[in-house]
Amino acid sequence: MTAERTIVAGGGPGGMLLAYLLARAGLPVTLLERHRTFDRDFRGDSLHPWTLELFDRLGLAGRLLEQPHVPARRFRFRTGRGTVTTTDYGLLDTPYDYVALMPQARFLDFLAAEAATLPTFELRTGAAVNGLLGAGTDDDPVRGVTLRSGERIDAGLVVAADGRSSRLRTLAGLTAQSQGATTDLLWFALPRHDDDPPDAAVDLFLGTRSYVGLLGGEERWQVGLSLPKGGYPALREAGVEHVRREVAGLVPWLADRVGLLTDLNDATLLSVDISRVPTWHRPGLLLIGDAAHVISPVGGNGILMALQDALAAANHLVPALRAGTVGTATLAAVQAEREPAIVSVQSRQVRIERGVARARERGRTIAPPAFVRLLMRLPAVRRRSARGNAYGPVPVHPTPELARELGLAPVPA
């Protein structure tokens, strides 16, 4: 029996990996991406050790890491009281003891090229979904999509991986419930100089009113300045000079180039969200990644959670698609496996958000408590933090059945 085609809507990390895994298992899959390319600024760039280990088993890590990237081995808070290393990936027992910072478009282009070598994979860009075929009920399951062009595409299963503003989630009548974000971020880029600190690639610089987060690239820094939720109109009124002063005050070695930001229109406002959908599925439809749960940028976990969603989905979907039995129980099993990790990550992020808000209201430095700073001096604590961030609170592994389907290398001893 030939398996029905699966449609994956959304060519972000989760959607791209799931489509690749289905196609590598020999199942027909069409990936729909509404944009013409994957090249968009200020998307997450973090590939964690879990991701690199998975790609190693897939036989892809070597070629992936030939792509230009920046390895980040430590995560630090920098305050007026000093620097606190909270996470040291170099203490992990893995050949991939770092986070690879790689522009997301480069990662997606790489994986799309690998998927294109598989005969059952189809990528369609500029393909915007504007309707679902079927009501998503037991009597009338989702059985495909319609595109803005008017084209109809039939499928046995539709996977919504179309991000935090998911069109498919809205079409299915599913609503994400906020968990309580208190911060927004203004993102912009500044050039990287040869004499910049080489170890600041994922650092947070903490002040009293705001903090600055850095993501290192080969030629530029992505700079994120925090502001209170809904505070952008006030920031615009204060003007670009206010942004320059805040950044230069918190990251003094960027003072020589903050003047290159000449207009707030050259920056991007990221409205930080922490939310999730109570039920990630309808008959014939599954939500993964940001479509199901939005992760704050804090900790850089968004890509990791989306990729782990994709692997968990493949674990359950490949045998079900092969048997032609992708029912509600299969879709519910994906959520049941992944939801504990998402709740754990989001709960931690909400606690951090509330702490930042309290410090901002009281005019205190946004910084970890003194006892946390003391604990972080212990290598065992930094190792535990690194393991939690590198693999997530509930790591996902290919099932033996999926490993056989994909021809995966055995797990290293």
Can you spell out the DSSP letters for 208-276?
Answer: SS-EEEEEE-SSEEEEEEEEETT-HHHHHHH-HHHHHHHHHHHSGGGTTTGGG---GGGSEEEE---EE
**Contact in structure between 390 and 48 (CB atoms under 8 Å):** yes
Per-residue pLDDT tens over the stretch 164-218: 999 999 999 999 999 888 889 999 999 999 999 988 888 999 888 889 999 988 8
pLDDT of residue 199: 84
What is the C-alpha separation between 151 and 141, in angstroms, rounded? Answer: 19
pLDDT of residue 2: 66
pLDDT of residue 352: 82
What is the C-alpha separation between 31 and 111, in angstroms, rounded? Answer: 12
**Contact in structure between 124 and 31 (CB atoms under 8 Å):** yes
What is the C-alpha separation between 214 and 413, in angstroms, rounded? Answer: 36
What is the C-alpha separation between 21 and 387, in angstroms, rounded? Answer: 25
Per-residue pLDDT tens over the stretch 86-97: 899 999 999 999
Domain boundaries, the chain: 6-178+274-406, 183-228+230-271
Topology adopted by domain 6-178+274-406: FAD/NAD(P)-binding domain (3.50.50)
Q: What token pair was written down for 323?
A: 């048997």
Residues of the chain with pLDDT under 70: 1-2, 41-43, 367, 369, 371, 412-413
pLDDT of residue 209: 82
Per-residue pLDDT tens over the stretch 51-78: 999 999 999 999 999 999 999 999 988 8
pLDDT of residue 114: 98
Residue 378 CA from chain centroid, whole number: 29
pLDDT of residue 412: 62
CA dihedral (396, 401, 402, 406) in degrees, to 10, reads: 140
Per-residue pLDDT tens over the stretch 131-142: 999 989 999 999
Cross-strand partners of 33? 125
**Contact in structure between 132 and 170 (CB atoms under 8 Å):** no
3-state helix, strand, coil in the chain (%, to 5): 40, 25, 40
pLDDT of residue 84: 86
**pTM, entire model:** 0.95
User: Would you tell me the crossing angle of helices 13-24 and 104-115 to the nearest 10 degrees?
Assistant: 20
